[in-house]
Chains A and B, each alone.
Chain A
Amino acid sequence: MIEVHLYGRLRRLAAQPGVWRPSIAWVALPEGTVAQVIEVLGIGPGDVSNIFVNGCYDQAALGRTVRSGDRIGLFPPEMRMLYV
């Protein structure tokens, strides 16, 4: 399982959405690129501004391979504090 932490309006895709607790979606892929993982959640590249993989910001994260046990953090465009 890949653990996806969602922020802002992306929280609606979590099992238990809302700002009062972590909004997490679990993706049952053993391995895949970040782009593939977010596609499973119905998120397009235009819906995200900034992506963290295991707590590290990565400008080129969409093409990065993640595996079961990894954590992804996704921020929407309106929280684009991280300017890219």
Chain B
Amino acid sequence: MSKLLRVNMTDLKAAFEEVPEPYRLWGGRGFTSMLTSGEVPPNCHPLGPNNKLTIAPGIVSGTAAPTSGRTSFGGKSPLTGTIKETNVGGLSSQKIARLGIKGIIIEGQPAEAGKFWLLRINKDGAEFLPATDLVGKGMYEVCRTLWERHGKGVAIIGIGPAGEYRLTNAGICVNDPENSAGRYAGRGGMGAVMGSKGLKAIIVDDTGGPGVEIAEKEHFRTAIKKLTEASLKHDVTKKEGALNTYGTNVLANIMNEAGGYPTRNFSGGRFELTGQISGEAVAELVKKRGGVGTTGHPCHPGCIIQCSNIFPYPDGKFHTSVLEYESVWALGANCGIGNLDDIADLVWACNDVGLDTIEAGATIAVAMEGGLLEFGDAQGAKKLIHEDVRGGTPLGRIIGCGAELTGRAFGVVRVPTVKGQAMPAYEPRVVKGIGVTYATTTMGADHTSGYTIAPEILSVGGKADPFNPQKAELSRSFQAATAFIDTSGYCLFDAFAVLDIPEGLAGMVESCAAVLGTKWTVDDIGRIGTEVLKVERAFNAAAGFTKAHDRLPEFMKYEPLPPHNTVFDVPDEDLDKVHAY
């Protein structure tokens, strides 16, 4: 039977407990949101003693299901004030699940401010160790040191200095198979929540663990075969397909051609240097420079899509992993920076200091607009992260708290946030459906909450005209389907294949059902996803959020975006229809 691990940071006690019935069928986001809804007061201060950080592998994580190594982190977000779930690949999900743990609940707060601990979890239980010499260290060093001390191959979940300072753009890092600190549950400042608990890192060793119990093994094998076949067949996800060859950053040229690639703080839809920061350019440099450079790299064992990369210095030595679409855009085009080596430095700096790359890039771009530095000033941007945020200077603390706070500090009107969280790399004035998702998701501006880009630009899972403002229904169904996928433990990129190949979708749901011993079919996806959304919406409502918060920033309604010169024209009534269940 799987169990819960409850960790109390006030009295440093960790104990296993039975999984209460209401949580039995949930994993991933479903679990973290149900737990947050059940145990966290919606009006609590996100960095205070009453918030809880909940960690959960997905339903199928730790099994032989392909591309299913996502770990969800949940609680109340200090960036948005809403409920939050942010998930990540890397090593943690499979190992937590194989120890028979459905969820880890971190609660309370150490009496002594500024004191940090490590939590080591293995088959014998959980113990606290002082973090002493790791306090203040960046995540690359933390990962290196913890492998030396606790064995090669253990999973590490940790925070950099940004999390220790409780900055609202601090993410939670998970190491990858090479022990690089490149995987982030970045969004929503959950690293600050971990920091507020006095927890520097969690070490997970699954050696000798019981593994994941599967209720119907034969049914499970059949189901994952269907999903694997779909994934290996689809043009987007197959071996040597677009994601495997170029990584997610294949999208740079595509979104730029579509005129929806936000440039220089969302003041344009095309960046003149996109070619040299695109997935094509990354692939070419990786090949030319050789050494450890890799495309088609898996972020966790068992991924068959392998969209990640290891980007090398000109001499072939490790520079950073991963240069993916959102990070390259945020710290590149959105800041007017068009050099991949500069962008790789910035991604490395965010990974080390412990910042979400999307929010960090959006924040620096807002600061550029506010006159702190010029657009295109890569050296200035590096200094902000390496020196100011890392060193905890007053300026670094502003920058480390995200785009909205920085916009206020510098008197900027063009601040691309919803509910306090910065938008990712799709322009809502061009791709209207993603704008509807940004406005209405429970998470603040977030593309992964309802990736309408798939039908609007990518023509996966049906067709939709990106400029047509009638997108309420499309966004609603994508938000529900996403909530289900985030619960399953499967990577969102599995969706590209399953949205087009019905057997793959069936395989995804049936594999979850086989693990849990339920009779779920594809008809249950919407119901299960909607149940998650309703609980999240109720939490947000109790925390004071209304339909007035389900809106894009005003400038997007009156400032036409070149080259299409369109504005965001989805009527407010349509936004309100998205969650009118």
Contact = CB atoms under 8 A, between A and B. Distances in A.
Contacts of A57: 258, 457, 459, 466
Contacts of B467: 56
A79 B242 contact: yes
Contact of A20 (B251, B281, B466): B281
B563 A55 contact: yes
Interface in B452-485: 457-460, 463, 466-467
Given A21-B275, A55-B563, A75 B460 contact: no
Given A59-B463, A82-B458, A82-B459, A19 B250 contact: no
B241 A20 contact: no
B500 interface: yes
Interface in B233-266: 234-236, 240-243, 245-246, 250-251, 253-254, 257-259
Interface residues of A, number: 23
B258 A21 contact: no
Q: Number of contact residues on B: which range applies?
A: 35 or more
Interface string A29-58: 000000000000000000000101001110
B236 A7 contact: no
A71 to B, nearest CB: 9
A5 to B, nearest CB: 6
Contacts of B216: none
Contacts of B246: 79
Interface centre among A5, A20, A21, A50 (most CB of B within 10 A): A20
Interface in A1-36: 5, 7-8, 19-23
B80 interface: no
Contact of B234 (A7, A20, A50, A83): A83
Nearest to B234: A83
A56 B430 CA distance: 10
Contact of A82 (B245, B254, B275, B284): B254
Nearest to A58: B465
Nearest to B463: A59
Interface string A63-84: 0000000000101001111111
B342 interface: no
Given A21-B276, A52-B258, A81-B236, A59 B459 contact: yes
A20 B273 CA distance: 8
B363 interface: no
B460 A83 contact: yes
B280 interface: yes
A81 B281 contact: no
A51 B258 CA distance: 10
Contacts of A50: 254
B257 A78 contact: no
A57 B254 CA distance: 10
Contacts of B242: 78-81
Nearest to B279: A79
Contacts of A75: 253-254, 257
B564 interface: yes
B236 A52 contact: no
A34 to B, nearest CB: 14
Interface string B484-514: 0000000000001000100000000000000
Contacts of B564: 55
A81 B458 contact: yes
A83 B461 CA distance: 9
Interface centre among A7, A50, A79, A84 (most CB of B within 10 A): A79
Contacts of B235: 80, 83
Contacts of A5: 257
A83 B458 contact: yes
B278 interface: yes
Given A83-B460, A83-B500, A7 B276 contact: no
Nearest to A18: B275
Nearest to A22: B275
B253 A7 contact: yes
Contacts of B280: 7-8, 19
A73 B459 contact: no
Contact of A81 (B254, B272, B500): B254
A30 B327 CA distance: 41
Contacts of A52: 257-258
B64 to A, nearest CB: 27
Nearest to B276: A20
Contacts of A22: 272, 275
Contacts of B245: 78
Nearest to A84: B459
Interface of A: 5, 7-8, 19-23, 50, 52, 55-57, 59, 73, 75, 78-84
19 contacts: A5-B257, A7-B253, A19-B284, A22-B272, A23-B275, A55-B269, A55-B563, A57-B457, A59-B463, A73-B257, A78-B241, A79-B246, A79-B250, A80-B236, A81-B242, A81-B243, A82-B254, A82-B458, A84-B459
Given A82-B458, A83-B236, 13 more contacts: A7-B280, A19-B276, A20-B275, A20-B281, A55-B563, A56-B466, A78-B241, A79-B254, A81-B251, A83-B235, A83-B459, A83-B500, A84-B459
A-B residue pairs, 8 tightest by C-beta: A55-B259, A73-B257, A81-B242, A80-B235, A19-B280, A19-B281, A20-B276, A83-B460
